[in-house]
Amino acid sequence: MPPRPREKQPLPSLPTGPLEECDDVTTDKIPQTAYEPDDRKVEIVWRNVVVMGILHLVALYGLYLVFTSAMLITTLYGVILYNLGGFGITGGAHRLWAHRAYKAKWPLKLLLVLCQTLAHQNSVIEWARDHRVHHKFQETDADPHNAKRGFFFAHMGWLLCKKHQEVKDKGKGVDMSDLYAEPLLRLQHKYFYVLMPIGCFVLPSIIPVVFWGETLMNAYCLNILRYVSCLHGTWLVNSAAHMWGSKPYDKYISSVENVFVSFFAVGEGWHNYHHTFPWDYKAAEFGKVNWTLRIINLFAKIGWAYELKSVSKEMIKTRVHRTGDGSHEIWGWGDKD
């Protein structure tokens, strides 16, 4: 007799609801899906593999040019663009729009959208949708970059294949109405494939040629290097900061505190804190290696950023004692922020 096909277990119902539920309640008790690894059929999107492959080759050549023929000012310009794009992701797509951790006046929103377009990690709306789904269903198949599927998948593999059906099914329940209500975000989303090529590739490559006489080849390749580096800086938060580091706030989740990631991710490596208290605009308990925090604070001084949400010391302390791994003393020692 042929073996009976394995019966699928019914999926447990996952919590759905408003963004406010993305707090310790959901991160603590997220149920696992009944999918077996066998059900995770990987449907590779070859277009993305080819595009990413070419981008990486050009970036490597750009790195070679940095040490051979590029002008120093072009390299410095690349570092500045890396940080500007990074701030568009951290201060804009992440803390402002995905988490609503603070409010911003329109000039800051405009600046953030421009910087986020420079970083090209999809439109703010698409970025924030994937990220809200990541928080809500972390480490399940509904998490777009589920770290349980290994370093490469969490880092960049998830962008090279079709999303798991669970991401789409469960993702539908995540409220995005607040972002669609913002005309600036709707505009960026609608015209993304016009704005992004100009903002991320054309203008950044032309500026060094026009303003300080760099060759187009050097300017173009160094800009691709800047773009690809910024992608990896961001992707490290999904991979390394879900694998290697301490868990002072919640030892039951995979995200960790990782200073190395924080350095490259403009302050977003304090990921155990962030998943425990996702509404905190600091995305960390302290101000160490948190460039994004410094910049938001500067904007708060001139009134462009306001209603900054945070977490009381008392709440952090209670949580550290309840679910921390005991490493809090090491990280918090001597910090006066």
**Residue at token pair 């699928």:** 8
Site size toward ligand ST9, by CB under 6 A: 31
Closest to 183 measured CA to CA, from 118, 91, 109? 109
Q: Is 237 in contact with 271 (CB distance < 8 Å)?
A: yes
Which C-beta is closer to ligand ST9: that of 131 or that of 282? Answer: 131
Stretch that binds ligand ST9, among 27-35, 71-79, 178-186, 265-273 (CB under 6 A): 265-273
Q: If residue 103 lies in a helix (H) or strand (E), which one and from where to where?
A: strand 103-104
Task: Give the nearest distance from C-beta 322 to ligand ST9 in angstroms.
Answer: 24
Residue 91 touching ligand ST9 (CB under 6 A): no
Rounded to 5 degrees, what angle do the CA atoms 21, 25, 28 make? 130
- At closest approach, how far in Å is the CB of 264 from ligand ST9? 6
CA 78 to CA 83: how far, in whole Å? Answer: 9
Rg of the chain on CA atoms, in Å:
21
What contacts 226, CB < 8 A, 6 or more positions away? 78, 79, 81, 82, 85, 204
String of DSSP letters for 60-92: HHHHHHHHHTS-HHHHHHHHHHHHHHHHIIIII
Our finding on whether 86 is near ligand ST9 (CB under 6 A) is yes
- Considering the complex, what minimum distance in angstroms separates the CB of residue 111 from ligand ST9? 16
Judge whether 145 and 131 are in contact, CB under 8 Å: no
**Whether 188 contacts 195, CB under 8 Å:** yes
Residue 319 backbone class (left: φ over 0; alpha: ψ -120 to 50; beta: rest): alpha
Binding-site member from 89, 101, 195, 293 for ligand ST9 (CB under 6 A): 89
Minimum CB distance to ligand ST9, residue 64 (Å): 22
Q: Which of 33, 121, 140, 323 binds ligand ST9 (CB under 6 A)?
A: 121
Question: Restricting to residues 176-235, which ones interact with ligand ST9 according to CB under 6 A?
Answer: 230-231, 233-234
φ/ψ of residue 270, rounded to 5: -90, 65
Question: Does 167 help bind ligand ST9 (rule: CB under 6 A)?
Answer: yes
Q: Nearest to ligand ST9 by Cβ — which residue?
A: 171
From the list 22-30, 104-112, 124-132, 195-203, the region that binds ligand ST9 by CB under 6 A is 124-132
Minimum CB separation of residue 150 from ligand ST9 in Å reads: 16
Binders of ligand ST9 among 36-65, rule CB under 6 A?
Answer: 45, 48
- φ/ψ (deg, to 5) at 123: -70, 165
Min separation Cβ 290 and ligand ST9, Å: 12
Quick note: the x/- pattern for ligand ST9 over 234-263, rule CB under 6 A, is: x--xx-------------------------
With binding defined as CB under 6 A, does residue 129 bind ligand ST9?
A: yes
Q: What is the DSSP string of 274-328?
A: HHHSTT-TTSSSS-TT-HHHHHHHHHHHTTSEE------HHHHHHHHHHH--S-H
Task: Report the residue number, 14 or 214, with the smaller CB distance to ligand ST9.
Answer: 14
Applying CB under 6 A, does 131 fall inside the site for ligand ST9? yes
Please identify which residue in 15, 61, 71, 122 interacts with ligand ST9, judged by CB under 6 A.
122
Closest to ligand ST9 by CB, 63 or 71: 63
List residues near ligand ST9 by CB under 6 A.
45, 48, 86, 89-90, 94, 120-122, 127, 129-131, 133, 144, 159, 162-163, 167-168, 171-172, 230-231, 233-234, 237-238, 265-266, 268
